[in-house]
Amino acid sequence: MCGIVGYVGPRNSINIIVSGLHRLEYRGYDSAGIALCLKNNEKLVLVKTPGKISDLETAISKALPVKDNRTFTLGIGHTRWATHGVPNQVNAHPHLSRSGEFAIVHNGIIENYADLKSRLIKQGYTFKSDTDSEVIAHLIEQCYEGNLKGAVAATMERLEGTYGIAVISSKHPDTIVAARKGSPIAVGICDGETIIASDISAIINYTKQVIFLNDGDIITATASNIDISSVKNIPVSREMTHIDWDIRDIEKGGYEHFMLKEIHEQPLTIANAIRGRLMEAEGTAKLSGMQMDPREMARIDRIAIAACGTSYHAGMVGKYYFEDIAGMSSEIQQAAEFRDRNPIIQRDTCLVAISQSGETADTLAAVREAHQKGATVLGICNVVGSTIAREAGCGVYLHAGPEIGVASTKAFTSQVSVLAMLAIAFARTRRLSVNAGREMIHQLSVMPKIAEQVIAQESIIIKIAEKYAGSRDFFYIGRGYMYPAALEGALKLKEISYIHAEGYHASELKHGPIALLEKNVPVVALVPNVPAKIKTMGNIQECKARNAPVIAIATEGDNDVRSLCDDVIFIPPCDEFLTPIPVTIAEQLLAYHIARIRGCPIDQPRNLAKSVTVE
């Protein structure tokens, strides 16, 4: 969940590393640091500080004033999301070895660090930080016998847990060594320079040619050469990937926050998700990444879905799709629970693993468990070359472009769009008629226009946000397809506004939560014009009887809802199975503007990071 950047080449590494860390700040922003090396075997220069990258820039300018015109052609940097030890200068990365000749940055968790630390202390090592990462620096120094890669490999064999690490040494002033086990490392291949990072966002300003390390890989990189091998020093070859993201995709483009930009991008990103995949004449969808023909799809009898967070809510919608559209037995599990419960997987089971980043640790573990049990595994990811995309075996990319805001928005609606196409494709190998399939495909094709119409309601949503921004608690309620939408709406609000919000199936309201309703507890009721609406209207009456204000999200022209509720956000009419898309966009805008009014750090909410690569 932290960010790593390393550089070796002819340019001043400070500028490239700091720029890269800014690109990765959405992955960790409680402290940051940089370690630099000259070519004259001086000790490494270390600068680190609590706070954001801007604080690091200030610290660098003080430690290395402009009059210091040395060119540091080798360096590593890190922006942290704290796990072990509070966010402060001492716990910030990079960490140095005892001699100061080795520096490391680390993403992940070393599970046996306490035992390793105890042994090192007995051998005379002292520790400055409370982190699990510092043991890596000391172990590398202890294992060093003139070969930096060999010292890293020997250290890797003693570590238990997950890591992406980058290492430099004053003894090797032209070399970075990096390794991975469970935490991503990407290598940007440039002309006469090499950039190593935990996320391609830090690389694409310099090159679109990237190599992704696999678990157990070690890379030794100079400005002009890279060498990849296993822990056992066996050479390995990794495929080069071309990244088609543009640098403008990771800039705000005039918006106040990345989250608002990404909400407004959804007409385009939904269009990208469905473009070239809708086969209206055949009443189906063609998803080439699935690598399954209709006969193979017909042999799948059961769908298991594993995901976390917002992707889990998309997966809940997907479960309904596979059951309602394709008539297939389907279940959704939180990804960690899928792995930890030792799930029953049969040969006719297909696991659908959903992850925006493609690096979510629990979802990746579910993929590996499903493979072990012989299931077909299909990944739904946004990031090209991500670990889940590579390990799933087959899958579908979202094509949503980079999502920088920590609270996921456009990825959710793209995931729902892809799941709808998957369900239709499976259904057409079963009992779904071509005419019914054509109608569903047509409904999907107009979703970008419907998304535009919801976003056009933003000025109305702002007024509602102003009215309720001072609230301390919110409820979200819905039935059927609106139940996962209620969960997602509540998650968005709590993530970025720090308001306590809970999502409930509307029928659960009277089984306990209704005790909390009063005039200062708004209820967001999801009541588009679908069959479950009439029952949810009854739940709205129960809320009103307890003096709770009700904000409804309803279909245009619904005067019954308008007359009953305090405030209404209207969405265009659409087929029931696609209502989660426009409803969720309205919820995103409501959450965003409440958070903005409250002055919250929307793109970087406290305690959260974009990609959860630790368990």
* pLDDT, tens only, 448-485: 999 999 999 999 999 999 999 999 999 999 999 999 99
Q: Average pLDDT of the chain? A: 91
* pLDDT, tens only, 355-376: 998 888 899 999 999 998 889 9
Side by side, which strands form the sheet with 31-37? 45-50, 31-37, 74-80, 3-8, 194-197, 186-189, 209-212, 240-242
Rounded distance between C-alpha atoms, residue 264 and residue 293, angstroms: 35
Confidence of residue 183 (pLDDT cuts 50, 70, 90): confident
> Tell me, what's the pLDDT at 251?
74
Residues contacting residue 87 through CB under 8 Å, at least 6 positions apart: 30, 31, 50, 80
Rounded distance between C-alpha atoms, residue 413 and residue 349, angstroms: 25
The yes-or-no verdict on residue 18 having pLDDT over 60 is yes
Question: Which residues participate in catalysis according to the annotation?
Answer: 2, 610
Rounded distance between C-alpha atoms, residue 399 and residue 381, angstroms: 9
Domain with CATH 3.40.50.10490 in the chain: 251-445, 455-603
Task: Specify whether the CB–CB gap between 292 and 407 falls below 8 A.
Answer: no
Burial 516-531 (b: 16+ CB within 10 A, else e): ebeeebbbbbbbbbbe
Confidence of residue 41 (pLDDT cuts 50, 70, 90): low
Name the DSSP letter for residue 513.
G
CATH number of 251-445: 3.40.50.10490
Mean per-residue pLDDT for 555-575?
Answer: 94
Task: Specify whether the CB–CB gap between 273 and 400 falls below 8 A.
Answer: yes
Cis amide leading into 94 (omega within 30) = yes
Amino acid at 231: V
**pTM of the model as a whole:** 0.84
> Tell me, what's the pLDDT at 552?
97
Domain with CATH 3.60.20.10 in the chain: 3-243
Rounded distance between C-alpha atoms, residue 241 and residue 501, angstroms: 41
Return the higher-pLDDT residue of 515 and 490. Answer: 490
The residue among 402, 315, 405, 330 whose CA lies nearest residue 363 is 315
Percentage of the chain with pLDDT > 90?
A: 72
Angle at the Cα of 223 from the Cα atoms of 219 and 229, rounded to 5 degrees:
15
Name the DSSP letter for residue 405.
S
Q: Tokens at residue 576, please?
A: 């029931």
Provide the CATH topology of domain 455-603: Rossmann fold (3.40.50)
Query: Whats the size of the chain, residue-wise?
Result: 615
The yes-or-no verdict on residue 29 having pLDDT over 80 is no
Confidence of residue 269 (pLDDT cuts 50, 70, 90): very high
The phi and psi torsions of 14 (rounded to 5 degrees) equal: -60, -50
The phi and psi torsions of 556 (rounded to 5 degrees) equal: -50, 135
> Tell me, what's the pLDDT at 176?
97
Task: Specify whether the CB–CB gap between 597 and 264 falls below 8 A.
Answer: no
Rounded distance between C-alpha atoms, residue 377 and residue 367, angstroms: 7
Residues contacting residue 190 through CB under 8 Å, at least 6 positions apart: 9, 206, 207, 209
* pLDDT, tens only, 572-592: 999 999 999 999 999 999 999
Provide the CATH topology of domain 3-243: Glutamine Phosphoribosylpyrophosphate, subunit 1, domain 1 (3.60.20)
